[in-house]
């Protein structure tokens, strides 16, 4: 893939707000790792995404609540 960071960020800036209902500042405040984690699957290959219960468990362990 021969895409630049700017080109990829531009595409994501248009898709992420629609998919996640984020405002522009929320997108630009997110790190690439956070975006990757949001769209990652459990096995990292394309399996099932996290369930609501699994997400709730992870959120309970996070110090930010």
Helices within the chain (DSSP H only): 5-20, 24-29, 32-39, 52-61
**Which has more confidence, 37 or 63?**
37
pTM for this one?
Answer: 0.45
Dig out the tokens for 39 from the structure.
């769209």
- Domain segments of the chain: what residues? 5-61
**Which has more confidence, 15 or 65?**
15
pLDDT digits (tens, 9 = 90+) for 10-51: 777 777 778 888 888 888 898 888 877 777 766 665 566 678
Question: With bands split at pLDDT 50, 70 and 90, how would you rate the model's confidence at 7?
Answer: confident
Tell me the C-alpha distance between 26 and 6, whole Å. Answer: 17
């Amino acid at each position: 893939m021969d895409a630049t960071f700017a080109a990829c960020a531009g595409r994501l800036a248009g898709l992420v707000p629609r998919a996640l209902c984020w405002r522009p500042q929320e997108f630009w405040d997110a790190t690439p790792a956070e975006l990757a984690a949001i769209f990652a699957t459990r096995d990292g290959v394309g399996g099932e995404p996290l369930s609501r219960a699994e997400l709730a468990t992870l959120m309970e362990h996070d110090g930010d609540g």
